[in-house]
Amino acid sequence: MAYKITEDCISCGACESECKNDAISEGDAAYVIDPEKCTECVGWFEEARCAEVCPVGAAVPDSDNSETKEQLLEKFKKLNPGQEPVDGTY
Ligand code: SF4
Ligand code: SF4
């Protein structure tokens, strides 16, 4: 399940540099997450970094983009060739 950013986003930019998959970018009205690049932080962190750093709780799981841990790990491997997933993050 990819994360998404809601309209509560105040465009502070804090989440963008935290995403190791480069899934977050600045949009017109709010920051946006590319679901093709979001692994829920599987492979990098135990929790979703964008949700952890967001001061207004605007980064949330997107139930329309539901995926299994195995699918998220495969996505991580495709996005980060040669990178071993960090222990405890998948
Ligand atoms: S959950 Fe992780 S991978 Fe997905 S957008 Fe947030 S920081 Fe990036
Ligand atoms: S950290 Fe939260 S408020 Fe700031 S840009 Fe990201 S989603 Fe928007």
Quick check: is 52 in a domain? yes
How many whole angstroms from 59 Cα to the centroid of ligand 1? Answer: 9
> What is residue 48's predicted lDDT score, i.e. its pLDDT?
97
Quick check: is 86 in a domain? no
CB atoms under 10 Å from CB of 43, counted, come to 22
Domain that holds residue 11: 3-79
Q: Is residue 62's pLDDT more than 90?
A: yes
Number of domains in the chain: 1
Ligand 1 atom closest to the Cα of residue 39 is 3
> What is residue 50's predicted lDDT score, i.e. its pLDDT?
98
Q: Name the closest ligand to CA 4.
A: 1
pLDDT tens-digit readout, 22-34: 999 999 999 999 9
> What is residue 70's predicted lDDT score, i.e. its pLDDT?
96
Quick check: is 46 in a domain? yes
Residues 6+ apart with CB under 8 A from 60: 3, 4, 5, 6, 51
CATH number at residue 31: 3.30.70.20
Quick check: is 75 in a domain? yes
pTM: 0.95
> What is residue 60's predicted lDDT score, i.e. its pLDDT?
98
Q: Name the closest ligand to CA 29.
A: 2
